[in-house]
């Protein structure tokens, strides 16, 4: 099964933390101590949020094609119809 890949928005903070948000999945927000760490955490956050969508029978958003945006793949979430846990 192909895992969805979503464009991410990276927002550096003054304190060294980096915030990652997803235009297609607004509930998915994560930060980390630097861009690499924040992007690594982002896949797990996408899994949790998309699992919540599925548990609530909400449609899974289609990833948009934002030119030049970093893309983040979920670890294990495909087009499941229920929660993953």
* Each residue's pLDDT tens digit, 11-33: 999 899 999 999 999 999 999 99
Closest CA to 76 of 18, 2, 6, 19: 2
The count of structural domains within the chain is 1
Q: Does the residue 40 lie in any domain? A: yes
Whether 84 shows a pLDDT value over 50: the answer reads no
| Residue 52 lies in domain | 5-18+26-73
Burial class, 66, CB count within 10 angstroms (exposed 0-12 / middle 13-18 / buried 19+)? middle
Residue 81, domain member (yes or no): no
Report if residue 58 sits inside a domain: yes
82 domain-assigned: no
**Which tens digits make up the pLDDT trace of 65-80?**
888 888 998 866 554 3
Q: Where are the alpha helices (DSSP H) in 1-85?
A: 35-55
State the Cα torsion 45-48-51-56 to the nearest 10°. -110
Q: How far apart are CA 38 and CA 41, in angstroms?
A: 5
Q: Is residue 78 part of a domain?
A: no
Residue-level pLDDT at 76: 61
Q: How confident is the model over 32-71, as pLDDT tens digits?
A: 999 999 999 999 999 999 999 999 999 999 999 888 888 9
Q: Is 55 inside a domain boundary?
A: yes
């Amino acid at each position: 099964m192909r895992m969805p890949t979503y464009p991410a928005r990276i927002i550096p903070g003054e304190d060294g933390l980096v915030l990652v948000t997803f235009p297609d999945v607004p509930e998915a927000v994560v930060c980390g101590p630097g861009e690499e760490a924040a992007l690594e955490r982002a896949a797990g956050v996408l899994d949790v949020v998309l699992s919540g969508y599925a548990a609530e029978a909400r449609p899974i958003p289609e990833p948009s094609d934002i030119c030049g945006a970093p893309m983040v793949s979920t670890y294990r979430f495909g087009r499941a119809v229920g929660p993953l846990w």
